[in-house]
Amino acid sequence: MHANTIAQIARDLRNKEYSSEELTQHYLDRIQRLDPNYNSFISVTAEQALEQARAADKQLSEGNDNPLCGVPIAHKDIFCTDGVRTSCGSKMLDNFVPPYDATVVENYKNAGAVSLGKLNMDEFAMGSSNETSFYGPVKNPWDTNCVPGGSSGGSAAAVAAQLAVAATATDTGGSIRQPASLCGVTGLKPTYGRVSRWGMIAYASSLDQGGAITRTAEDAAIMMNTMASYDSKDSTCIEREVPDYTATLNDSLQGMTVGIPKEYFGEGLNAETGARVEAAIEEYKKLGCNIKEISLPHTDLAIPAYYVIAPAECSANLSRFDGVRYGYRCEDPKDLGDLYKRSRGEAFGEEVKRRILVGSYALSAGYYDAYYRKAQQVRRLIKQDFVDAFSEVDVIMGPTATAPAFEFGSKNADPVAMYLEDIYTISVNLAGLPGMSIPCGLVNDKPVGLQLIGNYFEEGRLLNAAHQFQSATEHHLKTAPTHD
Amino acid sequence: MEWETVIGLEVHVQLATNTKIFSGASTDFGAAPNTQACAVDLAMPGTLPVPNEQAFRYAIMFGLAIDADIGKRSVFERKNYFYPDLPKGYQTTQLDAPIVGPGHVEIQLSDGSTKSIRIHHAHLEEDAGKSLHEDFHGMSGIDLNRAGTPLIEIVSEPDMRNAEEAVAFAKKLHSIVTSLGICDGEMSQGSMRFDVNISIRPKGVEQLGTRTETKNLNSFRFMEEAIKLEVERQIDVLEDGDDIVQETRLYNGDTKTARSMRSKEEANDYRYFPCPDLLPVEIDDDYIEAIRKELPELPDARQQRFEESYQLSPYDAGILAADGNIANFFEATVNTCKDAKLAANWVMGEMSARLNSEEKSIKDSPVSAEHLGGLIVRISDNTISNKIAKQVFDAMWQGEGDADSIIEKKGLKQMSDTGELEKIVDEVLANSQAMIDDWLASDEAKRKKKMGGFMGPIMKATKGQANPGLVNKILSKKLNNLL
C-alpha cells in the first residue's frame, strides 16, 4: 500500500481496495517501525489521524470526489495546527500548541486529507542539512550517514521512506527543492503569493512560500489544487483563480523552449551530477523541446543578497519569541533584560542566532545602505535576469543542488560552504518564481535532482513538463534502498 | 540675555475605527485586560497583519483637513525594539513614505492674531499595549487591549515660540480631529498624547539649540506647565554656563516636576526596514476626491456658520465649534429647541460645569441633547423659570426622565395665573408694612432696587414657581398705586 501515489490511492479508496482507516493505520505502523531510522517526524498524531481517516471513509461513502480525501499526508512543523504542538524545529516552541490552523492545514482538512503528524525541519527553517533541528537531524533514507537536505528534510525523507504519501513543506531559499533533490522525490515551490502564509511561521516573509513534496508530478498537481488559494488573512497572497493543475499534465511539450543558464553549469557543480542533469535535458529534447542556452548574469550575487535580506527579515520576525507570552521562558529571570537574554539565548540554536545577528547588523544605522538597500537592488537585478530570460524561453532547467547528499558534519563547520548548497535555488526565491525539483538519476546510489523554473504563476507548465518527463522515464520510481 | 523658545510637537492621535489597524479585534476602551487582543495582536507565530481601510480613510481625512498632500504610495516599516507591551518586538509604522505629507494648521492667539503652524507629515502606525506596574507580586502586568489600535502621529515643524502657541496648536488639532470624527478626543483615556520638543536660543540667533523631548503629556494644562518648567530649566542650565543634554524627559503633573528618562546615547537603533508582510498601499486620486467630498465641516468654517446662522458672538461660536463633540451636541440641542442663544448658554454654562466637575466628556453626558432641548423649550414658553430649570436639569442629570415628565411629576410648572398671583402679592404686601413704608420713603432710583425685596417672600409663597416677569408687573402696579 505504501508504494502508492495519491492518484492510485484515490482510485483504490473508491474501489474499496482498502479503507482510509486501514491505510492510515498501515502508515502509522510504518512510522513507528521505521522512523527511528530517519527521525523525520517530530510529532505523530495517531489518534487524530485515525479519527480523520474514519471521517474520510464516511465522506468517501457519501461520494466525496476530492482525490485527497482519506489520503495520509503530513505537515512540516512550521505550519500551525490547532491543538497540536507546532515547534518549528526549535526549543523555543517545544511547548507551543497553537489555537488555530494554518490556511494550508485548513485547506487539507477541508479536502478530507488525513494528517499523520508534524515533520522535522531545520530550526525556524534555517539550514540546508536538517542538522539545526532541536529534535536532532533527519537522516537521508538513501544513506543514513548523509543529510536529507533542508530545511524541509523531514518532509523529503518521510515521502522518500514512504512514511507519508505526500508532505507539505516550505521554501525560502531552496528548502523544498534541495531536500527533494537529495532524497529523490518531487518538490514544488509555487510562485510567491500563490499559497497563503497565514499560520506558517515566518522565517523571511518576502521569500517564504509553502509547497509540497510528493512522489510524482501528478501528485504535486493534486496537492497544489488544494493548497493554492486566495486568503484575505495574508496581504501578500495574490487574488487569482486557481487552475486545475492536473488538467494540463498531459499537454504535449512539442515546441516548448527550455532555457539552460550557463551560470548553473560552471565551477562548483559536481561533474557526475552535471552529467545526469544534461542527460535529463537530452530527454526533453526527445520530448520535442527546443533547448536554448541562456544567461542569468547576476547569479553569483544571489547568495550574498539572500544572506542579507533573509537574516534582516528574520531578525525582526523572531523578535516575538521573547519569553513573555508563549514559548520558552528561562527559569527565575531576575529582571526584564535577563528574561530576554536568557530566554532567547537558551532556546535559539547557533544558526538561528547567527542569522539574527547578521540581520540586525545589516539593518543597523550606518550599515543599512551598504547592506540591506544594496541587497534589495541586487534582488531587482536578479528578478530582471529572469524577466529577460522568460521573454525567450518557457521553462528554465538546471541542477537543483551542486552534488548528491553529503555526510553529516561535513559542512556545518563552515557556514558559507553550507550556504552555497542553495546556489541554484536561491535566485528563484529572490525573484518570487515557481520552481520544482524532480529526480533525474543517481550518483553513487544517491539521487540527483533536475530543477525546473517557471514564469510567474506557471506552476501548471512546470507540472506538465515534470509529468511528461516522469511519463517517459523511471528515475522517480526508484526508491531508497534502506526500506524494509 | 533674552532667550527665544522653539517648540515642535509630535502628537499621537488614536483613530476611532471599530477594529484595530491590522486585525479584527475591537478598539473599545476600558474592557477587561487582554480581552480585546486576538492572535494577531498577541503576535502569535504565523499570524499576519491585514491593513484596516478605515484607518487609511481617517488619515486621509486629516491630511485633507490640513491642506496636505496625500502620499500616493504609502509604505509600512518595522521599527525594532524589545518591550513587553510590544508583542512582535517591532512597531509597524511609516518612515519615508507616510500617508500625509506637509500641511499647515492656523491657530488663533489671545491677542487676536493668527499664526500658521507647519505640519512636517503625519503617518499611520499601531499603538503598543500597556505595562501595568501595579501590584503583581513584584512583577509587571501586560494589557494588550490597546496593542494594534490605529494611530496617526502628527509631526509639526518647530514653529511655536511659547507655551501659549503650543497649547493653541494642540487644541486646534484636537478640534480638527474631533470635528472630523476620526478621534474621540478623550485625552484622559490617552486618545491624544503629546510629545513636546523644546529648545531655546539667544534672541536673534538662527541656529537651533539642543532640544529635549518631554513625552506623553495627555492634557493641555500639563503641556503648558511642562513647557514652562522645561524652558526655565534650560535657561538656568545655559546661564550657569552648562550645556543642554539631548534627552527624553517625563513630566509628572501631580508633583509638577520633570525628570530625565534617557539620553541620546541610550537611544535605541530602531533598525527600520520595510515590512515584508504588508505591500505598499497605492492610493488613487478618485479615492482621495471621494473622501474630500464627504469631509465634515471643519472648526473654522463651523465657527463662522455658528456666528452667521445662529447670531452667536465670535467668542461663543469659537468655543462651541472647537470641539466636534460639543459642536454636534449644541446643534442637536438647537435642533430640538430652536433657540440658539439659550442652547449656547446652557451648553457652555450648566452643562460644561457639570461635565467638568464630574470629569465627564460630553459623549458620556447623562443628559442628551434632545433632553436639554426639551428643557429649553419649556424655558422659552415660560412653563418654567430659569431657576426651576436648573432644578429640572439636576433631575435629568440624575436620570429621572425628560423635562416635561419631571415638571409634571414634581409640579414645577410656573404659576402664570394673574388672578392667583395677585392674591399672593396682596397677601405678601399685607404682611410687609415696614418694607412698604421704606419703599415709599425712598427716592425713585432706589425704589426699583428695593422692589426686589418683595420678590423673595412671593417666590417663597409660590415655591419658586411664580412667573417672575408677571409678578414684577403686578407688584410694580400695586406699589405704584400706593404712591
One domain for residues B230 and B210: yes
Among the partner residues B84, B269, B279, nearest to A235 by beta-carbon distance:
B279
Among B238, B255, B286, residue at a domain's last position: B286
- Compute the distance between CA of residue A81 and CA of residue A75 in angstroms, rounded to an integer: 9
Does residue B108 lie in a domain region?
Answer: yes
One domain for residues B232 and B111: yes
The SS3 of residue B346 is helix
Would you list which residues of chain A are within 8 Å, Cβ to Cβ, of chain B? 79-80, 86, 88, 93, 96, 98-100, 102, 197-202, 204-206, 232-236, 312-313, 315-316, 318-322, 324-326, 336, 340, 360, 363-365, 368, 372
Chain B residue with minimal CA distance to A360? B271
pLDDT tens for B188-242 read 899 999 999 999 999 999 999 999 999 989 999 999 999 999 999 999 999 999 9
- Compute the distance between CA of residue B205 and CA of residue B209 in angstroms, rounded to an integer: 10
Please answer yes or no on whether A312 and B50 come within 8 Å at the CB atom: no
pLDDT at B155: 98
Residues on chain B touching A371 (C-beta within 8 angstroms): none
Our CA-based measurement puts residue A85 at a distance from the nearest CA of chain B, in whole angstroms, of 12
pLDDT tens for B438-459 read 888 888 888 878 888 888 888 8
Does residue B292 lie in a domain region?
Answer: no
Q: What percent of chain A has pLDDT over 70?
A: 99
pLDDT of A39 > 80? The answer is: yes
Q: All 3 cell numbers of residue A238?
A: 495574490
One domain for residues B388 and B249: no
pLDDT at A303: 96
pLDDT tens for A393-441 read 999 999 999 999 999 999 878 888 888 889 999 999 999 999 999 999 9
Among B390, B410, B430, residue at a domain's last position: B410
Q: Identify which of A284, A277, A255 has the alpha carbon closest to the alpha carbon of residue A394.
A: A255
Please answer yes or no on whether A202 and B273 come within 8 Å at the CB atom: no
CATH number of A1-484: 3.90.1300.10
Chain B residue with minimal CA distance to A202? B46
pLDDT average, residue stretch A139-162: 97
**Angle made by CA atoms B18, B19, B20, in degrees to the nearest 5:** 135
Residues 6+ apart with CB under 8 A from B469: B382
Among the partner residues B44, B50, B90, nearest to A319 by beta-carbon distance:
B90
pLDDT at A484: 60
One domain for residues B216 and B362: no
pLDDT at A267: 87
Q: What percent of chain A has pLDDT over 90?
A: 96
One domain for residues B402 and B369: yes
8 Å CB contact between A400 and A450: yes
CATH of residue B431's domain is 1.10.10.410
Residues on chain A touching B271 (C-beta within 8 angstroms): 315-316, 360, 363-365, 368
pLDDT of A483 > 70? The answer is: no
pLDDT average, residue stretch A257-283: 96
**Angle made by CA atoms B311, B324, B322, in degrees to the nearest 5:** 60
The SS3 of residue B234 is helix
- Compute the distance between CA of residue B206 and CA of residue B200 in angstroms, rounded to an integer: 11
Among the partner residues A200, A313, A365, nearest to B276 by beta-carbon distance:
A313
pLDDT at B205: 94
Q: How does A223-245 read in b/e, with b if 16+ C-beta sit within 10 Å? A: bbbbbbbebebbbbbeeeebeeb
Residues 6+ apart with CB under 8 A from B21: B15, B49, B51, B52, B55, B92, B124, B125, B126, B148, B149, B150, B151
pLDDT average, residue stretch B164-176: 96
One domain for residues B305 and B401: yes
Domain span holding position B102: 3-286
Q: All 3 cell numbers of residue B324?
A: 466636534
- Compute the distance between CA of residue B75 and CA of residue B278 in angstroms, rounded to an integer: 8
Residues on chain B touching A206 (C-beta within 8 angstroms): 276
Residues on chain B touching A312 (C-beta within 8 angstroms): 273
Please answer yes or no on whether A79 and B43 come within 8 Å at the CB atom: no
Count other Cβ atoms within 10 Å, centred on residue B305. 16
pLDDT tens for B15-56 read 999 999 999 999 988 899 999 999 999 999 999 999 999 999
Helices (H), A270-414: 271-286, 302-317, 336-347, 350-362, 374-390
pLDDT at A482: 64
8 Å CB contact between A170 and A187: no
Q: Which residues pair with A81 in a beta bridge?
A: A84
Does residue B76 lie in a domain region?
Answer: yes
Our CA-based measurement puts residue A237 at a distance from the nearest CA of chain B, in whole angstroms, of 10
pLDDT at B435: 86
pLDDT at B455: 84
pLDDT band of B363, cuts 50, 70, 90: confident
Does residue B324 lie in a domain region?
Answer: yes
Chain A residue with minimal CA distance to B92? A316
pLDDT average, residue stretch A35-56: 98
- Compute the distance between CA of residue A453 and CA of residue A476 in angstroms, rounded to an integer: 18
Please answer yes or no on whether A235 and B277 come within 8 Å at the CB atom: yes
Please answer yes or no on whether A319 and B277 come within 8 Å at the CB atom: no
Chain B residue with minimal CA distance to A93? B45
Chain A residue with minimal CA distance to B52? A235
What is the average pLDDT value for chain A, to the nearest integer? Answer: 97
One domain for residues B457 and B319: no
pLDDT tens for B270-300 read 999 999 999 999 999 999 999 999 999 999 9
pLDDT band of B388, cuts 50, 70, 90: confident
Q: All 3 cell numbers of residue B479?
A: 406699589
Among the partner residues A198, A200, A205, nearest to B276 by beta-carbon distance:
A205
Please answer yes or no on whether B271 and A200 come within 8 Å at the CB atom: no
Our CA-based measurement puts residue B63 at a distance from the nearest CA of chain A, in whole angstroms, of 25
- Compute the distance between CA of residue B77 and CA of residue B115 in angstroms, rounded to an integer: 34
pLDDT at B424: 87
Specify burial of residue A3 (Cβ count, 10 A radius: 0-12, 13-18, 19+): exposed
Residues on chain A touching B51 (C-beta within 8 angstroms): 235
pLDDT tens for A91-115 read 999 999 999 999 999 999 999 999 9
pLDDT at A34: 96
Please answer yes or no on whether A98 and B46 come within 8 Å at the CB atom: yes
Please answer yes or no on whether A99 and B80 come within 8 Å at the CB atom: no
How many domains is chain B built from? 3
Does residue B231 lie in a domain region?
Answer: yes
One domain for residues B440 and B309: no
pLDDT of B135 > 80? The answer is: no
Does residue B291 lie in a domain region?
Answer: no
Our CA-based measurement puts residue A198 at a distance from the nearest CA of chain B, in whole angstroms, of 6
pLDDT tens for B137-154 read 878 899 999 999 999 999
Strands B3-14 and B192-202, bridge-based pairing:
antiparallel
Q: Which residues pair with B132 in a beta bridge?
A: B141
> Rounded to two decimals, what is the model's pTM?
0.89
Does residue B282 lie in a domain region?
Answer: yes
8 Å CB contact between A324 and B84: yes
One domain for residues B91 and B219: yes
What number is the ipTM of this complex?
0.96
Least confident of A379-383, B182-186, B234-238, B456-460: B456-460
Q: What is the DSSP string of A275-317?
A: HHHHHHHHHHHHTTPEEEEE--TTGGGHHHHHHHHHHHHHHHH
One domain for residues B194 and B73: yes
pLDDT of B412 > 90? The answer is: no
Q: Which residues of A belong to the active site?
A: 76, 151, 175
Please answer yes or no on whether B51 and A201 come within 8 Å at the CB atom: no
pLDDT at A67: 98
In degrees and rounded to multiples of 5, residue B471 shows phi and psi of: -60, -45
- Compute the distance between CA of residue A196 and CA of residue A178 in angstroms, rounded to an integer: 22
pLDDT at B423: 87
pLDDT band of A337, cuts 50, 70, 90: very high
One domain for residues B206 and B72: yes
Please answer yes or no on whether B89 and A199 come within 8 Å at the CB atom: no
Among B354, B388, B410, residue at a domain's last position: B410
One domain for residues B190 and B330: no
Structural domain spans, chain A: 1-484
Residues 6+ apart with CB under 8 A from B220: B167, B170, B171, B187
